[in-house]
Structure 1
Amino acid sequence: MAGVSLPEHPYNRTEATRLLCAGTYQDAAFRRRVIDELVVHQERPVAPPLGVDVLPVLAHAVRITRQESRTAGLMLAAWLGFLLSDVVMFWDSVGDRWGIGAEVGFGDVFTAFYAGDERLTAGMPLPWSQFYAFVAIGLWFARSVRAQGADGRQAGLPAPVAKAAAGLGRGVTVCAALFAVFYWCWFVAGVLGGDVQTPYPLLFPLLIALIAWWHETTQRRALCRWLSRWTFRTTTQPDLPAGPLYEDLVANISREQTAALTLYEPDSPFVGMGTRRQDWSFAMELRKRPAPPNGSDTPEDTGSPSPDGSLIPHQNHGPLTADRALAMIEPQLVRLRESAALTGKDRLRELEVDRFVCLPGGVGRDELLRLGGSDDVHAVQPDGPRGGDGRTVYDPAQVAAHLREAVDEGGEGRRVFLRVRIGAWHEQVVVTVLVRVHTQGGMLVMEVVPHVLGPVRKDFRSVDTLVDRLPETWAGGAVRALGHGPATGVSTALGALRTLTREIGTGWSDRETDPDVPRVSLRQLASAGGLSPYQEMDVTRYIKTVQERIVNGMREALQSHGYRTDQFEQHIYQVSGGSVFVQDMSGGAVATGSHGSATAHTNAPAAANGTPPRTGA
């Protein structure tokens, strides 16, 4: 049966998408988190995509989970065969010792397991299957400790703690390896001494290694086929399994990722944006410019100079609104993108500008679903934002209505932002600047909120090093599988058990859950957090450049609508220069700088032109 194919998305071929797909193969915990967030918690919409399409990530996570379940089934069969061989051999041994016709029970065999049979285990008081099970658990535990130490370094633990974790991982690995060597030495010594005359303690570990070899080879082939740097952009990614579950998921996630809208929780409204940088805001009174004298022909009459030297006509066609202000800022950013594309390879050439609306989750949703006209209102669906009739908050008509109605209302819950996004370093560093404008009550308030999303985890990026070493030789693969086989068996068994538990829990759970909001961003979950010095320099440059264009756009908006800009210039000077701008001053004193001081004198002389003197730095 054909699976559910993935729709095209602007971000489904980005480097960040490729690395997150590779991360599902390299980190089982991340793979489980992907499935939990996207499949188990179907009531949650996905967070806004910032350079990542989560559908290919989900497809790879589901694929490797099913592969893991198949491997776990083969491993279970091998281990049952190993245990059954022990039972049969010990049963025959006890029967031979007791003589023909003796009745041997399972309790007698179980007792013989730990009696140290000289002919089967060379005196070791354990059956071979249990002995090798301890070897497998030890190797799996050593791998887990090493992985936890690596995760600690990725999380930026203090150097002493990270060093102690790494040392513990090496110590546990050495102990587990010595225990595995002890198993093989004991078996070889028993064979050479004539005490062990059966080959199954050798055959079943080799069978387990063969299954692990097949499992790891399949995964590495998948990395080469779909996720290498040379194949990812041109190869069709794997489909999701067929069935209504994944068909609905693909439709919902695709709609949510392309909509200029998100639901939010008041405690965490910016899920997926990354680290919040220093906000920038100001408030000023909107004051009209005085009308010029009749018959005069001054720059104030014909227009005001723009930053490029041209005149901005005084339109004076109504008050300045948030919608009109954003409409003046957007062309500034578009021109910035076009200029960067013409003059170089700066990532500003890929700058994205759009309007984005945030809706509070679970509050007044029947009102939020209104399309604008009284004749076009439909009731909220019982399952929340993903309604059964396809009419959801994320539908284009709904989104357009919210953008149109909320941009000038200045409400607390429903908010419209101008969203500026720059995906730098091959989408490893994402800069998002949110701009909101208020013009109520004769005041102008602008809020600028930058966010930075750090690079994908280093261990996910190491997939290229792994792919570059492929294909491996038969000898190397056999040795690796022999060493990794026991741990692979335990890890796949635990993964399959978690999958089974999740499926049972999902089947028994109530599907009619309350609507939710995005709780986790998979892109942010896979972020390393820290930036390199070069990346930090680029982030600073991007934010300052975007803010400068925002300032120019707002200045043009004020000038074109006939408002005074002197107070606006004062605010901008204070914010950008870190100094104090004084336009008019009568008495008092101003000092700037960490060591500045000023003293006011009542008998200070007036300036020659009669205006009060200015002080400042």
Structure 2
Amino acid sequence: MASPSRRSGERRSTSRLSARPYASSEVTRLLCVGAHVDPAFSDAVIRELVSESDRFVAPSFGFDVLPVLGHALVARQRRSRRRVVVILSPLIPVFLFFFGTMAFAIGVALWLWATWAAICAERLVALHILTTDLADPRTSRDRHGFDGRIPVHPMLTAYDCDRINREQDSGSGLVYYSGYDPFIGAGIRRNSSKFPILLNKARGSLAVSLDGRPGLDDAAEVEAFPAGEIFEYVQERLEATLKDEGWGDQQIEGLDISRRWYRTAVGPERPESPADVSSSSQGGERYDSAREYLCVRIGSWGQEVVSSAFINFDVKGRTLYTEFHRYVLPPLNPAYRAADRLSPEITDGEVCLIAGESVLRMVREAVEAVLLLVLLPYRLWSLVIKRDQPSLEGEVSLGIELPGKKIDAFDYGARTSIRELAHAKEYQHFFQSVDAGKYGDIIERRFLEIVIDFLEKKGMDTGEFRARQATILNYGMIQTGGGTISNAGQMAVGTDASASAS
């Protein structure tokens, strides 16, 4: 359902914008390949970015959305033209039926030939695009290969390109999300750790009160600090330890650290563009408030496997509350990379093979076209009946009835990212899974150490935080959002208890 805020008058000319640093990346190229070989993926791309263009675009990391959208539009246009020929070609024998039996037989032959020719031509054009415009530039030799250019298409206008370029920026700003999970584009959540730390003065001795709490002297006033101070310190130290302090060639590649705000976008009008919203006074505990997170991303395997961590701090009642959420974006669908095994030139044998396969597809699509024409009156009548019924897609449902009133609200938040639509169901290599966990562990270990350093610089007690650090790192014990506790290591409970591997 399109919302009233769409400004069609601003859609004029096709844009050639391609200034993003990831426009010609390997992930961008593979996603463009997927737009041509996977109709379901290309339709989903168009639906998320064009059909419902009032929705915000999810942040992209390691790829550029615009070339993918351009190729998805071109691929759908090519398939639509083939579909039109296949659907209309059965009308040829119907028309020639009135001119005699011989004319009808010729009409049937023309129908089958037109269906076969449309299917064969569409597949040959797709193969040509895959072996030239989308070829791997590292191995294309005399072919120019993929260079990140955006295909020209009437639906890809300057207004859309400018909007997508601003909203897909993964570096900073505000993210408008839809649904429950705010971290759109990060992939699958691995685990979360959330715990409060009492902000007490560092103890001068090991003596404690009978109930295990620090004495009055140990709980003396400490220097107060805002949550923004620890945000800045952790970001600064993470950038230094993960980027600058590596030995020789041991620096982590594909690292991105930024601070972002996350909020919903439900209302009668589309909110301001994320780039135009001030981040000041965004916090709070309201339905329309935003919450800030430190976003740490590491892209490995050519940016195909992305490990992400989202960190938040809050200081309430002399208590430091920390959140650490780990996400992993799995590699791309392996079918998209299979196109790289195509031969550079389209040989006569490949043309014959496509022609033969098109015969089998011709039979199936010819039958589908006949059934579609037979059922066409019923489908048209259904559309007439439902024409005046409002679409509920994207509208906010309250779950209650308000007689005589209509809730004029729309969810403008991003539902998913283009990269998430294309990921594989499982890892293709064992080492991809290992590396995804490795980088997440590195981020978590550094994060815990940096928080301890910050507290020690403030002269605060770190005993409780160190105990929790040992639990997480040594035993793999995580409390998830649902309240369950999972333990990846050995655990013993009670006095003199011990645990050993069986």
> Which TM-score tier does this pair reach, normalised by the shorter chain?
0.7 to 0.9
Q: Please give the alpha-carbon distance, in whole angstroms, between the structure 2 residues aligned to 1:555 and 1:599.
A: 29
SS at match of 1:325: helix
Letter aligned with residue 284 of structure 1:
I
Match of 2:413 in 1: 517
1:169-217 alpha-carbon deviations (Å, 9 max, x no partner): xxxxxxxxxxxxxxxxxxxxxxxxxxxxxx6654553343333222211
Match of 1:43 in 2: 54
Q: CA deviation at 1:354?
A: 0.1
Letter aligned with residue 362 of structure 1:
V
Q: 1:572 to 1:15 in 2, by over 3 A?
A: same
State whether structure 2 residue 335 is matched by structure 1 residue 459: yes
Match of 2:269 in 1: 383
Q: CA deviation at 1:415?
A: 0.8
Q: CA deviation at 1:434?
A: 0.2
State whether structure 2 residue 32 is matched by structure 1 residue 24: no
* 1:543 aligned residue (440, 443, 463): 440
Q: CA deviation at 1:596?
A: 6.1
Q: Give yes or no for contact 2:136–2:145 (8 Å, CA) kept in 1.
A: yes
Q: Please give the alpha-carbon distance, in whole angstroms, between the structure 1 residues aligned to 2:275 and 2:260.
A: 14
State whether structure 2 residue 236 is matched by structure 1 residue 331: yes
Bigger mean CA deviation after superposition, 540-549 or 1-10: 1-10
1:316-374 alpha-carbon deviations (Å, 9 max, x no partner): 9952322111212112221234358763377x2221000011013227xxxxxxxxxxx
Q: CA deviation at 1:490?
A: 7.2
Q: Please give the alpha-carbon distance, in whole angstroms, between the structure 2 residues aligned to 1:429 and 1:8.
A: 24
Letter aligned with residue 26 of structure 2:
E
Q: CA deviation at 1:445?
A: 1.4
Q: Please give the alpha-carbon distance, in whole angstroms, between the structure 2 residues aligned to 1:69 and 1:527.
A: 25
Letter aligned with residue 193 of structure 2:
W
Query: TM-score normalised to the size of structure 2?
Result: 0.73
Q: 1:506 to 1:33 in 2, by over 3 A?
A: farther
Q: How does 1:387-426 map to 2 (within 5 A)?
A: 392-396=272-276, 398=277, 401-402=278-279, 404-406=280-282, 413-426=289-302
Letter aligned with residue 518 of structure 1:
A
1:93-137 alpha-carbon deviations (Å, 9 max, x no partner): xxxxxxxxxxxxxxxxxxxxxxxxxxxxxxxxxx75xxxxxxxxx
Match of 1:478 in 2: 355
Match of 2:180 in 1: 267
Q: Please give the alpha-carbon distance, in whole angstroms, between the structure 1 residues aligned to 2:52 and 2:370.
A: 24
SS at match of 1:430: strand
* 1:248 aligned residue (156, 159, 165): 159
* 1:428 aligned residue (299, 304, 323): 304
SS at match of 1:239: coil
Rg larger for: 1
Q: CA deviation at 1:261?
A: 1.7
Q: 1:13 to 1:235 in 2, by over 3 A?
A: closer
* 1:34 aligned residue (45, 60, 63): 45
Match of 2:261 in 1: 357
Bigger mean CA deviation after superposition, 267-276 or 486-495: 486-495
Letter aligned with residue 553 of structure 1:
I
Q: Please give the alpha-carbon distance, in whole angstroms, between the structure 1 residues aligned to 2:243 and 2:75.
A: 42
Letter aligned with residue 251 of structure 1:
D
Q: CA deviation at 1:488?
A: 5.9
Match of 2:150 in 1: 237
What's the Cα RMSD here?
Answer: 4.1
Q: Give yes or no for contact 1:4–1:240 (8 Å, CA) kept in 2.
A: no
State whether structure 2 residue 69 is matched by structure 1 residue 58: yes
State whether structure 2 residue 196 is matched by structure 1 residue 283: yes
Q: How does 1:491-570 map to 2 (within 5 A)?
A: 514-531=410-427, 532-570=429-467
SS at match of 2:310: strand
Q: Give yes or no for contact 2:333–2:422 (8 Å, CA) kept in 1.
A: yes
Q: Which runs of 5+ in 2 are unaligned?
A: 1-11, 138-143, 206-220, 395-407, 478-488
* Higher strand fraction (1 or 2): 2
Paired residues, number: 431
State whether structure 2 residue 116 is matched by structure 1 residue 209: yes
Q: Which runs of 5+ in 1 are unaligned?
A: 93-126, 129-198, 293-315, 364-381, 386-391, 581-591, 601-614
Q: Please give the alpha-carbon distance, in whole angstroms, between the structure 2 residues aligned to 1:200 and 1:15.
A: 48
Letter aligned with residue 27 of structure 2:
A
Query: TM-score normalised to the size of structure 1?
Result: 0.61
Match of 1:604 in 2: none
Q: How does 1:100-119 map to 2 (within 5 A)?
A: none
* Higher helix fraction (1 or 2): 1
1:136-186 alpha-carbon deviations (Å, 9 max, x no partner): xxxxxxxxxxxxxxxxxxxxxxxxxxxxxxxxxxxxxxxxxxxxxxxxxxx
Bigger mean CA deviation after superposition, 255-264 or 476-485: 476-485
Match of 1:321 in 2: 226
Q: CA deviation at 1:539?
A: 1.6
Q: Give yes or no for contact 1:206–1:482 (8 Å, CA) kept in 2.
A: no
SS at match of 1:349: coil
Q: Please give the alpha-carbon distance, in whole angstroms, between the structure 2 residues aligned to 1:342 and 1:224.
A: 41
How much identity, in percent, do the aligned residues show? 23
Q: 1:576 to 1:406 in 2, by over 3 A?
A: farther
Q: Please give the alpha-carbon distance, in whole angstroms, between the structure 2 residues aligned to 1:424 and 1:579.
A: 23
SS at match of 2:149: coil
